[in-house]
């Protein structure tokens, strides 16, 4: 079971928590200056201990573009990783979901994704994997700059903590802009959309730390967690305000969205995202019953173009065929329950 098939703490507003450790080996140039032979050496050093732990190895140089995109859609790899030219590998473990990418933007990136809000638990899982690799390999490190990374923006702890938030009420109240600039002062960033590459925000936001140097791991994890809880409080306030108003207009919109989701023959990804946001809010407001957050998360990921295409018995040849397939998948999953 992957992160998107499950629920966790504060699932009504948090889809998942992603914690990533960025590391490099001191003995090799960073990926930007790395030759294929050296990249292969690194892969041979770092892959076997993880495979011994039960990680599945996916050689990105050997897989199709659509398969690579599907891993990006599931948040196991970044778009930049998928487009690397030289040898690069993804090692994957499920429950808890840990994705280790080798020779992408850094030699080693260990990413743990958990459903709901749980930065400390995700960090503990990622750290366990780091411990396995740290003993045998000399990691690039400087006492003042911390872990040395290809991007100077990641220096220090090399730790990235991000939470995927669902804030439809705040998004509608138009105060997201001022919230984002306030968060900037705290060393955090808030971006709209479900990961990179998805343009429509539909109430989805990603909150992550920008500061990696000068704060230790615990401070960064606590900062993200505490600020998330504060944002959730404000979202809850905004939802309470919505509830006070006459609900018929909103209820009507949500019920229409639910009905379309359950019976449309064609669903484009943009339309799906819009309906997804309405129905998810509907569950929180008690308007929609019989649909769960984890079902919606599953649909969000499995309805993405590449993942959807891969899951079909016969590859949909046109956008029209893909929209039909998406609608079929959505209904199959919702009627299962």
Partner 1 sequence: MIKSTMLCEQCKKRTATVFYNEKLNGRSRSLSLCGECASKLRESGEIRDVTSMIGSFADPFSALQDERFGDFFGLRILRAKEEKILCPCCGRALAAILNDGKVGCAECYSAFSGELSPLLRSLHGGATHRGRIPSRLLARRARIEQLSRLREELQKAITEEKFEEAARLRDEIRVLEEQKEGNGNGLV
Q: Which residues bind partner 1 (CB under 8 A)?
A: 24, 26, 28-30, 32-33, 131, 134-135, 138-153, 155-157, 159, 211-218
Minimum Å gap between C-beta 28 and partner 1 is: 8
Minimum Å gap between C-beta 100 and partner 1 is: 17
User: Which of 21/164 has CB closer to partner 1?
Assistant: 21
Q: Alpha-carbon Rg of the chain, whole angstroms?
A: 21
Helix (H, G, I), strand (E, B) or coil at 204: strand
User: Which of 131/317 has CB closer to partner 1?
Assistant: 131
The alpha carbon of 265 is separated from its chain's Cα centroid by a whole number of angstroms, namely 29
CB 325 within 8 A of CB 32: no
Minimum Å gap between C-beta 172 and partner 1 is: 33
User: Which of 79/290 has CB closer to partner 1?
Assistant: 79
CB 170 within 8 A of CB 234: yes
Minimum Å gap between C-beta 137 and partner 1 is: 9
DSSP of 72-118:
HHTTSS-HHHHT--S--EEEEETTTEEEEEESSSSSEEEEEEEESS-
User: Which of 155/202 has CB closer to partner 1?
Assistant: 155
Strand order in the sheet with 14-23: 56-59, 89-93, 97-102, 108-115, 14-23, 159-166, 204-209, 188-192
Residue 206 and residue 18: Cα distance in Å, rounded?
10
Task: List C-alpha distances in Å: 205 to 112, 179, 210.
Answer: 19, 12, 15
User: Which of 105/118 has CB closer to partner 1?
Assistant: 105
Minimum Å gap between C-beta 314 and partner 1 is: 42
Minimum Å gap between C-beta 154 and partner 1 is: 10
Minimum Å gap between C-beta 37 and partner 1 is: 15
DSSP state letter for 31? G
Of the candidates 10, 317, 18, 331, the residue with the CA atom closest to the CA atom of residue 194: 18
User: Which of 151/181 has CB closer to partner 1?
Assistant: 151
């Amino acid at each position: 079971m992957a992160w998107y098939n499950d629920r966790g703490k504060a699932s009504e507003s948090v889809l998942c928590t992603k914690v990533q450790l960025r590391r490099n080996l001191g003995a090799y140039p960073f990926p930007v200056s790395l030759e294929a032979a050296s990249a292969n050496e690194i892969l041979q050093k770092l892959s076997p201990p993880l495979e011994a732990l039960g990680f599945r190895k996916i050689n990105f140089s050997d897989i199709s573009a659509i398969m690579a995109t599907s891993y990006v859609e599931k948040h196991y790899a970044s778009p930049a990783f998928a487009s690397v030219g030289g040898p690069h590998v993804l090692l994957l473990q499920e429950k808890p979901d840990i994705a280790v990418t080798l020779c992408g933007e850094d030699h080693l990136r260990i990413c743990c994704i958990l459903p709901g809000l749980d930065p400390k638990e995700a960090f503990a899982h990622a750290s366990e994997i780091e411990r396995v690799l740290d003993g045998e390999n000399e990691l690039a490190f400087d006492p003042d700059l911390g872990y040395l990374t290809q991007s100077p923006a990641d220096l220090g702890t090399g730790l990235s903590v991000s939470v995927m938030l669902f804030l439809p009420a705040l998004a509608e109240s138009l105060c997201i802009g001022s919230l984002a600039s306030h968060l900037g002062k705290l060393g955090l960033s808030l971006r709209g959309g479900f990961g990179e590459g998805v343009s429509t925000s539909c109430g989805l936001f990603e909150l992550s730390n920008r500061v990696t140097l000068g704060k230790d791991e615990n401070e960064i994890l606590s900062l993200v967690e505490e600020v998330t809880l504060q944002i959730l409080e404000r979202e809850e306030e905004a939802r309470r305000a919505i509830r006070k108003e006459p609900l018929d207009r909103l209820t009507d919109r949500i019920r229409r969205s639910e009905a379309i989701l359950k019976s449309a023959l064609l669903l484009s990804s943009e339309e799906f995202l819009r309906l997804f946001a309405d129905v998810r809010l509907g569950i929180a407001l008690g308007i929609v019953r019989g649909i769960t957050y984890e079902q919606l998360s599953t649909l969000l990921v499995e309805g993405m173009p590449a993942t959807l295409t891969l899951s079909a018995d016969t590859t949909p040849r046109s956008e029209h065929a893909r929209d039909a397939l998406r609608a079929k998948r959505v209904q199959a999953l919702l009627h299962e329950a």
